[in-house]
């Protein structure tokens, strides 16, 4: 296991599985991570966990790699969500203007 920074420059032969416990914000980092399984003509598997907060990262990854990343819905932690439910909630509190105090 390694972070993106620690993994760079390390050459490990025969990596057959990469597990992403969080999706990177930059899709190129994802490509770099899963590329560890495809060295020297070999193949492997990448498994990624994704929360609803990382959904936008998943969409950017799919756009970058021009492929759909399959989602395993047959597991106890799967949650259906739509892009509409992921929009940030607006803060309806009106900003209160501060009254300037007069110094005497």
What secondary structure letter does DSSP report for 86?
A: G
Please indicate, yes or no, if residue 15 is contained in any of the structural domains. yes
Q: What SS3 state is found at 46?
A: strand
Residue-range definition of the domain harbouring residue 56: 4-85
What number is the average pLDDT over the span 76-83?
Answer: 72
In tens, the pLDDT along 31-67 reads: 888 877 777 777 888 888 888 888 889 999 999 999 9
Please indicate, yes or no, if residue 66 is contained in any of the structural domains. yes
Residue (of 53, 62, 8) closest to 35 by Cα position:
8
Q: What is the CATH number of the domain that holds 58?
A: 3.40.50.300
Task: Report which secondary-structure segment, H or E, holds 17.
Answer: strand 17-20
| pLDDT for residue 6 is more than 90 | no
Q: Would the pTM of this model clear 0.75, i.e. be above it? A: no
| pLDDT for residue 9 is more than 60 | yes
Locus of tokens 């105090």: 101
Please indicate, yes or no, if residue 90 is contained in any of the structural domains. no
Please indicate, yes or no, if residue 91 is contained in any of the structural domains. no
pLDDT at residue 67 in the model: 92
- What is the tally of structural domains in the chain? 1
Beta-bridged to residue 42, according to DSSP, are: none
- Cα–Cα distances (Å) from 103 to 84, 96, 97, 100, in that order, read 50, 21, 18, 9
Return all residues near 93 (Cβ < 8 A) that are at least 6 apart. Answer: none
């Amino acid at each position: 296991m390694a972070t993106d920074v620690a993994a760079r420059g390390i050459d490990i032969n025969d990596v057959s599985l990469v597990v992403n416990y969080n999706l990177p914000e930059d899709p190129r980092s994802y490509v770099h991570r899963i590329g560890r399984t495809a060295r020297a003509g070999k193949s492997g598997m990448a498994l990624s966990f994704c929360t609803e907060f990382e959904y936008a990262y998943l969409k950017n990854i799919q756009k970058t790699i021009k492929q759909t990343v399959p989602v395993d819905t047959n597991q106890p932690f799967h949650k259906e969500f739509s892009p509409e439910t992921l929009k940030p909630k607006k803060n309806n509190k009106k900003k209160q203007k501060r009254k300037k105090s007069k110094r005497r």
